[in-house]
Structure 1
Amino acid sequence: MVVLNKIYTRTGDAGQTALGDGTRVSKTSARVAAYGTVDELNATLGMARLHATGDMAEALARIQNDLFDLGADLCRPDMERDAEAEYTPLRILPAQVDRLESEIDAMNADLEPLRSFILPGGSALSAHLHLCRTVARRAERQTVALAALEGINESALRYLNRVSDWLFVAGRIANDSGRADVLWVPGLTR
C-alpha cells in the first residue's frame, strides 16, 4: 500500500531523484525522461476522460492504471535483481499488451478502411485522444533511447507501441466511428 502523508521531501532540490530501487540519479536521466513522459501521457488521458462516457471511459481508466504500472516498471532498473527486492516489483505483462491488441481489433472491426491520413480533430474526445497518441509516441521514443543504454522490460516497450495504436483507433471511434474523421487533403492550400 502507498502512503503519502508528506508531499515535499526536499531530496530532489539538487536535481536528483530516487528510482524504485532507491538509486539516486539525475532528473535528466533517460530513465526519468521515459517514466516522466509516461506520467505526462497519463495526465493527458485524464483530460480525454473528461469527454468520454461508457465503455470508452472505462477503457481509458484501465489504461491509466496500466500506465502507473508502466511507470513503476520503468522506474525500477536491473530486472535481474527483482528476486532480491523486498516486494515483487510491478512489471508490464504480455497479457496487458494482448488486451490492448484485442481491444484494437474489436474497435477496428466496424470501421471503414482509411483512404487518407486523419487530421487530429472532429470531436473534443477525438482531438484529446490524438494528443494522447502523440505523447505516447514520445514516451515510446524515450523508452527506446533508454533501452539503448540500459535493460528494460520488453513488454513495457511493446505496451507503449500498442497503446498509441489503441489511441488512434479510439480517436476514430470517438468521431462517430470514423464518419466524422477530419481527413488530410494533400496540397489543399497550394
Structure 2
Amino acid sequence: MDIKSVNSQGQILPQGKPVKEKLAEKDKDVSSPKVENNPAVKYEKSEKVEEKYITYDKTAVDKLKAEAEQRHANLRNMVKELLKRQGLTFKDVFEDGKEVKVDEQTRLEAQASIDEGGEYSVDAVATRIVDFAKAISGGDKAQIGKLKAAIEDGFKQAKEALGGYLPEISQKTYDEVMKRMDEWANE
C-alpha cells in the first residue's frame, strides 16, 4: 500500500478517484432512497394495540364435552328403545315417515329428565352452559359480552330449527343462563 491510498480519516481507498469524490459517493446511497423524500411513506401516530390471549380450561372443557356426548348417547338410546318397542328403527322414521307414538314408559323417562334434578332440567342445563362459558373464557369476565352474544345466537338458532318456537323449558333455561351470566359479571 502506498501513501496515496490512505486518507486523513484512516480509510483505505482504492486508487483511481480522488478522496473527496469517494467520500461523496459513500454518503449518497442510491439503492435505498431517504424516507423523507419518498411520498409513498406516510407516518401516523398509532395507539399501542395490546393483544390478549385467553387460556381456556382444557380439562373442564374436555370433561364437559365428554359428559355432553354421554347425555347425547343416553337420549339416543331412549329414542332407539322407544322405536324398538314399536318395531321401528331410525331409518323407518326418517326415510319412510312412519308415525312414532310415545309410550308411557318413555314419557315418564323424558319427564324425569326435565324435572328438577333431571339431567335436562333448567338448572342442570343452565349450569352446564355457564360452566362451559367460564371454561372457554378462562374465567375472564371481560369476555362476558361475547359469551352472552354467542349463547343468545345459539338459542336463536335452536328456535329457528324448531320452526320459530322454543318450548317453555328452553325459554326458562335461556332466562336462567342470562341471569347467571349477569351474576358472574357482578361477582
Whether TM exceeds 0.5 here: the answer is no
Instruction: Return the structure number with greater strand share.
Output: 1
Greater RCO, CA 8 A, separation 6+? 1
Which protein has the larger Cα radius of gyration, Structure 1 or Structure 2? 2
Q: TM-score, structure 1 length as denominator?
A: 0.30
